[in-house]
Structure 1
Amino acid sequence: MSMFQTVTTAHNDAYFAAVAIAERRAPHSFFNQHIIAERDERYIAIDEGDYNALPAHLAARVVHTIPGGMSDEW
């Protein structure tokens, strides 16, 4: 097995689609937006606030995080 993983176009498209979703959500959220690697070259974007503390099984698959853009500090 090669130490380099082949990255397909579908893989890239799925990743960048999830990033685009997270980037749209982030400015309107108090919580970080995480990109999670799923099986079969899929990615999902989740709002950390939906999970309270991010469960370990999801935290282990985070490949990118976009900070939430809203602040509750005045």
Structure 2
Amino acid sequence: MASIAQLHLTSDRYFAALAVAECRALHSFFDQHIVEDRELGYFALDEGDYNALPAHLAARVVHTVHGAMLDEF
């Protein structure tokens, strides 16, 4: 039963990180990445915090929400 509880907790963390990424993306020029972490589960990462994602983070990206702001005007 512990594995079922862990799976539920992990999916909750993923969907929480997804909600944060989607909210941030609405107000950002930068992509928002969901990164898998052994200790934290999942967390949202703003691409604007880095010039290019370091390889150790890029390898753990499981989903990307594209920034919704356009710089065309």
* TM over 0.5, shorter chain: yes
Which portions of structure 1, spanning 4 or more consecutive aligned residues, are displaced by more than 6 angstroms?
none
RMSD of Structure 2 on Structure 1 (CA): 1.5
Offset of 1:40 from its aligned partner? Answer: 3.8
Hey, what's the Cα distance between the residues in 1 that align with 2:31 and 2:71?
14
Amino acid in structure 2 at the alignment position of 1:38: D
Q: Unpaired runs of 5+ in structure 1?
A: 1-5
> Whose helix fraction is larger, Structure 1's or Structure 2's?
2
Q: 1:51 corresponds to which letter in structure 2?
A: Y
- Equivalent residue for 1:18? 17
Letter in 2 for 1:39: R
Count of residue correspondences: 69
CA distance, structure 1, for counterparts of residue 48 and residue 57 of structure 2: 13
Amino acid at match of 1:58: L
Q: Give the fraction of aligned pairs with identical amino acids, expressed as a percent.
A: 62
CA distance in 1, matches of 2:40, 2:9: 8
Partner of 1:3: none
Q: TM-score, normalised by structure 1?
A: 0.86
Unaligned runs of 5+ in 2: none
Contact 1:11 1:41 in 2 (8 A): no
